[in-house]
Structure 1
Amino acid sequence: MVTDYLLQIRTVQPTGPYHLIGSSFGGLLAQAIAARLRDQDEEVALLGVLDAYPGGVGRFVTSEERPPDTGTGPDGADERERAMPADMDAVRMGVDDRLRASMEKVVRNAAAFVPDHTPPPYPGDLLLFVATEDRPAQLPVPEAVDSWRPYIAGDITVHELPVGHYDMFQPEPAARIARAVTAALEVPADV
């Protein structure tokens, strides 16, 4: 997957500097792509990860976590559909069943891949955004941040956001993320 993504990126931009940001499962991909680029002597000027961690990416819902289909609830939605995470609401609304099924399959496949993934070492810095609300009990904020330390040789700059994993792209947290990324991209003027 990393090789394919890297080929797609290099089709658009053959050489660095690269700016990579990924959210949830995409954060693990961004880190792995950044490591591969650095192995190829390319410059990665920014690596940002939004609420993704080695061994787990927030609260991906797998088929094991979803309740069995118990029929249609009072609001017309079946029980499994109502159990989908909040970020899948957009998938339920305004798209056909085939696309929704494909999106759900991607989420389940990513969830199955993550526990066995070991991030490659990355020699640069990491800009890490952590959703602090509704955290999984087994991954409190300090442990979530520390989970990256064995794989990041540079500094880890942490921005805690007082929202849940699936709310990071709501207007207020998204604006905070944008301000932090903009600040990280600013080049200091020579004095």
Structure 2
Amino acid sequence: MARHLPQLTLHGLQMDLKQSSSAQDFDTLVEGYLQRMLALQAHGPYHLLGWSLGGNVAQALAARLRARGEAVALLALMDSYPAEAWTAQPQPVYDDALRTLLGVNGDFDTADIGTGALLARLQRAGSPFAGLGADGLERWARESLRQMQLFRRSATQPFDGPMVFYRALRNPPHRPGPEVWAPHVHPALTACVALDCSHDGLSDPLPMAQIGADLARRFEALKR
């Protein structure tokens, strides 16, 4: 994303295992991310971007910042959906967390692969997770799963500021659609941009370039 927004300084908040493992619910988890973000930038306006569960963290941060009286100039979500949209869906399991981590590597062809093969892929040469070792990878995956579970048990809070939603069009039919955000957003301040890719494929070069170009236009508009 930084490649497509060279005029901006981007900060990525990675999962902190110690902070995450001590959180007993999603609100506490978000509070930990909030304190880390405030250490980088004490006051708004803020511009937040997140993909999948990261988008849910970004949305919760935006709602919390607005409750504190801070300005959130833009919230951008990449195919993230509120907790209530998943009520009828199966609960995530350990292999789901492993597949999510593999998605970071751009490795998405994993639907029919078992736990052992998933772990082997994550530890192969060139993987950013290889340096964690078997025990470190286990901790990372277990905590990723726990974050998913905490989110599913949470209640998504409303956000009344500008939001753009990047929707992956090639998702399976059972996946939620952008309409599920209606109770949580300001309709006049919310835009939806459809992309011809799957949820996992949002990080491919073309969708990422399209998202980057759209964000660049929005940042230019904010200057006017």
TM-score (norm 1): 0.77
Amino acid at match of 1:165: H
Runs of 4 or more above 6 Å deviation: 86-89
**Aligned residue for 1:79?**
114
| 2:72 matches 1:44 | yes
Deviates more, 1:23-32 or 1:96-105: 96-105
How far apart are 1:94 and its partner, in Å? 5.6
Structure 2 counterparts to residues 110-129 of structure 1, below 5 A: 110-129=147-166
Report the secondary structure of 1:128's partner residue.
Answer: strand
**Aligned residue for 1:160?**
194
How far apart are 1:21 and its partner, in Å? 0.6
- Shift of the 91–164 alpha-carbon distance from structure 1 to 2, 3 Å rule, reads farther
**Aligned residue for 2:212?**
178
Q: 2:62 aligns with which of 27, 34, 59?
A: 34
| 2:184 matches 1:151 | yes
Asked if structure 2 preserves the Cα contact closer than 8 Å seen for 1:18 and 1:45, the reply is yes
Amino acid at match of 1:179: A
Report the secondary structure of 2:137's partner residue.
Answer: helix
Q: Which runs of 5+ in 2 are unaligned?
A: 1-28, 98-112
How far apart are 1:114 and its partner, in Å? 2.7
How far apart are 1:138 and its partner, in Å? 2.1
Report the secondary structure of 1:47's partner residue.
Answer: strand
- Shift of the 109–122 alpha-carbon distance from structure 1 to 2, 3 Å rule, reads same
Q: Which runs of 5+ in 1 are unaligned?
A: 67-77
TM-score (norm 2): 0.66
Identity within the alignment, %: 25
Q: Which has a greater percent of helix?
A: 2
Q: How many equivalent residue pairs?
A: 173
Amino acid at match of 2:31: T
Q: Distance in 2 between matches of 1:171 and 1:40?
A: 36
Over the aligned positions, Cα root-mean-square deviation in angstroms equals 3.0
Q: Distance in 2 between matches of 1:127 and 1:23?
A: 12
Report the secondary structure of 2:94's partner residue.
Answer: coil
| 2:133 matches 1:96 | yes
- Shift of the 184–43 alpha-carbon distance from structure 1 to 2, 3 Å rule, reads same
Report the secondary structure of 2:207's partner residue.
Answer: helix
